[in-house]
Amino acid sequence: MPSARPDTAVLRGQDLRLLFVVVAVAAFRFRFTTEGSLDPSWELALGWLHQRGFSHGTEIIFTFGPLGPVSNPTLAASRAWIAVSLLAHVVATAWFASVLLRALRPTRLTAGAAAVAVAAGLVAGFALPLTELVAVTVTLDVWTRLPGRALRPPSPAVVAGYGALAAAALLGKLNTGVIVAVAVGVLVLAWPGWGQRVSAAAVAGSSAAATGVVLWMATGNELAGIGPWLRAALETTTSYASAMAKNPPAVPWAALQLVLLGALVALLAAALWARCRDTDGASRWPEVALVASLTWFTLKAGLVRFDRSHVDLPLAALAILAVVLGTASRWRWMPAAAIGLATVGLVAGYDSIVAGDAQRLVDRRLEQPTQVWDAVQATASGGAYREQTAQEQAEIRDVYRRLGLTQPVVEALEGRRVHAEQWDVAALWAHGLDWRPLPVFHTYAAFSSWLDERNVDALEAADEGPDAVLRNAASIDNRVGMWDSPSARLVMACEFEAVAQDGSWSALHRAENLCGAPREIGRIHATEGEEIAVPTARPDELVVAAFELDPSLGKRAIDLVARDPHLPFVHVDGMRARFVPDAAPGLHVMAQPDRVGDRDLPGGSLAIDTVRFQNLGGPVDITFYAVPLG
């Protein structure tokens, strides 16, 4: 085992030169552009909600918290947030480089040491967003401070800093904060002596609590919102896998990436086994816990959606862990093998290595300095900020024109408090509309009944909630569009009318509530795969259904800690669509007319005759209701 040395040692001159190279090459993954599509739209929303003065927990609920704009900067945020984000990216990248060098402990500036560090920096810069980079860096930093790596326990100041960082990470993004907190907990428990452990835990906990409250209040949120935000973020996180999982596409690159991820996990397991075998295995538990927690976190984050942007995360994080463990285990071949596996996996995400793909990779890196410079200018000059904002809004308006959003639909929303349905917050920002979102502002992300009910509460608050909706009929992952946040969709059908429509886009205004009290018209216990006929109602009634699921304990456990490869589906009139199990108890619209009198209902006519469920892990109890209109 390498001889221990204090982790507070000052970096030598050759280390500083190598640090500079790693920082320059990693080129922190800083994106400062927005597009009219799903992911950039929520990134824009994170900054815009601060500009609008919305409070987390009470008015907005999401896995990203009040510090979300730090990791996702856009021109919808204020200049101050852009400056903080830019600084955070620079500091986090420099910290990662410093920690990586300390973990690798190069004794001299050899070509091999430089190549390993620079390659790890390239992988991190290419694949790790800020929140995930922080999780990886904290894991490595804690690893360098474990017994056997450091000569003494971390000082109270260091422990307090870790506690503050855990709170900040939690308010940035819930699952990142949990991983950081786990790493801090491992460090607290790793050093012997219960007095030491209790004292360190008290310092870390009090620092985290104080920092969390200060940051929560400083970002303009109400203390009463902390509990609801934590509940909402937990609901979203725990329901995410069953609602959003995607199986790997049937293409060669996906199979290759799965094999490469398996190989990286095998490398980590082999290195840990060797280190446990060479010493008292029980003393290695902190190291095993750190590697296991980060491996689980990155694999679940990468494999639930299984697309290029998500799979890059575990490829990069596991490769960096393997580089560090391989170096510590004196397996000189392992760092190169890990970097090689990750590089092949990252490149394999592009269907074919042709000139166009290579050019996109090059352009992606070349755009980085321009985006950084744009952010610096926007921060330094109000004029530059306004000019960039106007240009960005014009570009997004052009994107939405190509998507079919016409001026009459936009004009019908002017002067009203508007919610974007399903996810087109960017359209509202680009057209200068008055954004008044539902708490789950991307409707498809209301993954549970509790989240659905928060949207219902906001819709029913006529004086404070939105009085208009920009509705896009598109749906994510081939879901039944009317079933996203199902109970909220029912309220929308009852209390809003379509006043302008063009293709898949429509403008809705709040109107008199059309709906009476629901009456039960049928109850059925359905087994897996059984086709159920939907009862009919009168022409002037809606038909809605609530589904009660009874999944097995094994199914619940898989959805909580991993992801089930058997995705939940519903077959609607023979057509297969994705189903959101945790939102099943809500009232799902099964049938509605397109008009009631002279009033056009949102979404137009709908008439589902049969449903059949697949991969829900158990039977389904279905209760049908008729809702009178008029």
Band (29; pLDDT cuts 50, 70, 90) = low
pLDDT in the model for residue 352: 43
Report pTM: 0.89
As beta bridge partners, residue 614 has 569
Does residue 116 register a pLDDT over 80? no
Instruction: Classify residue 53 as left (phi > 0), alpha (psi -120 to 50) or beta.
Output: left
Q: Which of 541, 630, 556, 557 is nearest to 590 (CA)?
A: 541
Q: Which of 268, 285, 256 is nearest to 335 (CA)?
A: 268
As a whole number, mean pLDDT of residues 382-390 equals 94
The single residue listed with the structure tokens 């040491």 is 113
Residue 362 to residue 614: CA distance in whole angstroms: 43
- Angle among Cα 613, 616, 617 to the nearest 5 degrees reads 130
Burial of 608 (0-12, 13-18, 19+ CB in 10 A): middle
Higher-pLDDT residue of 126, 58? 58
pLDDT in the model for residue 208: 96
pLDDT in the model for residue 390: 94
Does residue 1 register a pLDDT over 50? no
Token output for 425: 């917050």
Pairing assessment for the beta strands 595-596 and 588-592 based on DSSP bridges: unpaired
The domain ranges of the chain are 13-244, 245-351, 403-628
Tens-place pLDDT, residues 222-277: 999 999 999 999 899 888 888 988 887 777 778 888 899 999 999 999 999 888 88
CB 317 within 8 A of CB 128: yes
Tens-place pLDDT, residues 128-164: 888 999 999 999 999 999 998 888 999 999 999 999 9
Does residue 6 register a pLDDT over 50? no
The single residue listed with the structure tokens 């959101």 is 580
Look over the chain and give the mean of its residue pLDDT values, rounded to a whole number: 87
Band (96; pLDDT cuts 50, 70, 90) = confident
CB 490 within 8 A of CB 544: yes
Per the omega criterion (within 30 degrees of 0), is the bond before 391 cis? no
Q: How is the beta sheet containing 606-607 ordered, strand by strand?
A: 519-526, 620-628, 541-549, 588-592, 606-607
pLDDT in the model for residue 474: 87
Residue 222 to residue 210: CA distance in whole angstroms: 15
Does residue 377 register a pLDDT over 60? yes
As a whole number, mean pLDDT of residues 87-111 equals 78
- Burial profile 23-32: b = 16 or more Cβ within 10 angstroms, e = fewer: bebbbbbbbb
Residue 233 to residue 451: CA distance in whole angstroms: 10
As a whole number, mean pLDDT of residues 84-104 equals 86
Does residue 3 register a pLDDT over 50? no
Tens-place pLDDT, residues 555-594: 777 777 777 788 999 999 999 999 999 999 999 999 999 9
As a whole number, mean pLDDT of residues 179-208 equals 94
Q: Which of 209, 198, 212, 165 is nearest to 184 (CA)?
A: 165
pLDDT in the model for residue 361: 56
